[in-house]
Amino acid sequence: MKKNQLFIAIAAMAAIISFTASCKKDKVIITNTGNNVKAKSLDVLNMFKNKAPQKQTITVNITTGGMVTGAKGTMVYFYASSLLDKNGNKVTGNVDVELTEFMSKSDMLFSGVTVTSGDQLLESGGMFELRVKQGGQELTLDPTSAINITVPSTVVDMDPMDFWNGNDNQNKDNNLVDWKKVDSAKVNRVRDSQQGGGFKNGFNAMQFNYFKFGYCNIDREWGKFKNKCSKFRIKMPNGCVDSNSTALLLFKNYNCCAWCYWMTDEDRISTGYQLPAGETLKVLIYKKTGPGENDLEMSLQEVVLGDDTEVVFTSTTACTLAQLEAAIEAL
């Protein structure tokens, strides 16, 4: 047996590999059924727009740098000359920092900035939207510089959190943001006895040398590793249809919530996100009964999720918009 037979054979195979390698491109084929349009047939977010967290605009002289502190405790430190304009030039002078903080479950539900990532629900440790503008034009962070961000933690325990960036949710439902984990960003969870005010649960501190302004989130995946509820449905009372009613759900023991949507073919409401079995869930439904702002009815149930869970509502109680908002805030 010749010594070079092996090498000849391998060379022949390498040639065949080259021959069979294809130049065809990967494809993702998405067919739109139109069902997702029905998910927003009740204009939920417009109804609660006055209760949604408001954008705070703070001016910073970026030539010297400075600290921005939001009303709910988020702190952003900009280093001197750390921003670039759309042409890549260093920005000087005053810039407008636009900061919106989404900390509580009601903040999330009123704004639609919930904790949805793909088909998963996350647990939020604090979310915010951060944009910086000068003369109306959006600016970016100079990659040779850095930015420091400190966010009050919305959860008591000190389990690790990750940093996430938000994109538009392609599901087109009332959960507006699809979160993507930024693996390179390290979130330092900090707590000490001197903290007060907004930092009673500790805080999440981060320093970035690359940062994409927009929706930002300190979250963790909590339900992904639990047993999944294979089917979840909400049966609404008689008279409820997709154009007049909807439901929201939130977890009793986790800072996690989401809007639901109608499955008109089943005449049920469900969620597009995986739910962990064994966890306690609060489900709130409401119905618009007329054109007036206060023509509303609502009902609330607390359930423990099983493998196959159907939450049945048989009636609703009349309420005003303020009462409904107060009920959501109290959940």
Partner 1 sequence: MFANGQTFFQVGITAKLEMNALQTMGTDGRDVRQFEKSPGGAYGLAVAQSLGKRLFGELSFLSTRAVYNPNISVGNTSMQKADLRLFQTNATINAWLSNGNFARIYAFGGLQHMYRRWGEEYYTNAALQDSRWPNHRLQVTAGLGVGVKCTQNIYARIFSGLRYNPVQTLIYDTPMNQVFTGISVFWQWEKSAKPAYYKCPQF
Stated as kind and residue range, the H or E segment containing 246 is strand 245-251
Pairwise CA distance, residues 138 & 131, whole Å:
7
Answer yes or no whether residue 227 interacts with partner 1 by CB under 8 A.
no
Q: Which amino acid is at 298?
A: M
Answer yes or no whether residue 28 interacts with partner 1 by CB under 8 A.
yes
- How many CB atoms are located within 10 Å of the residue 331 CB? 18
State how far the alpha carbon of 283 is from the alpha carbons of 134, 184, 232, 302, in Å: 43, 36, 12, 6
Binder among 81, 118, 134, 303 for partner 1 (CB under 8 A)? 118
Answer yes or no whether residue 114 interacts with partner 1 by CB under 8 A.
no
Per CB under 8 A, which of residues 287..306 are in contact with partner 1? none
Binder among 138, 267, 302, 308 for partner 1 (CB under 8 A)? 308
Give the nearest distance from C-beta 72 to partner 1 in angstroms: 29
Give the nearest distance from C-beta 175 to partner 1 in angstroms: 10
Look up residue 259 and give its two tokens.
Answer: 């809007």
Binder among 254, 273, 286, 313 for partner 1 (CB under 8 A)? 273
Answer yes or no whether residue 119 interacts with partner 1 by CB under 8 A.
yes
Per CB under 8 A, which of residues 167..226 are in contact with partner 1? 170-171, 173
What burial letters (b/e) apply to 141-166, b meaning 16+ CB within 10 Å? bbeebbbebbbbbbbeeeeebbbbbb
Question: Please, which residue, 130 or 305, has the CB nearer to partner 1?
Answer: 305
Q: Is 13 helix (H, G, I), strand (E, B) or coil?
A: helix
Residues that bind partner 1 (CB under 8 A): 1-2, 5-6, 9-10, 12-13, 16-17, 20-22, 24-33, 35-36, 39, 117-120, 170-171, 173, 230-231, 261, 263, 270-274, 308
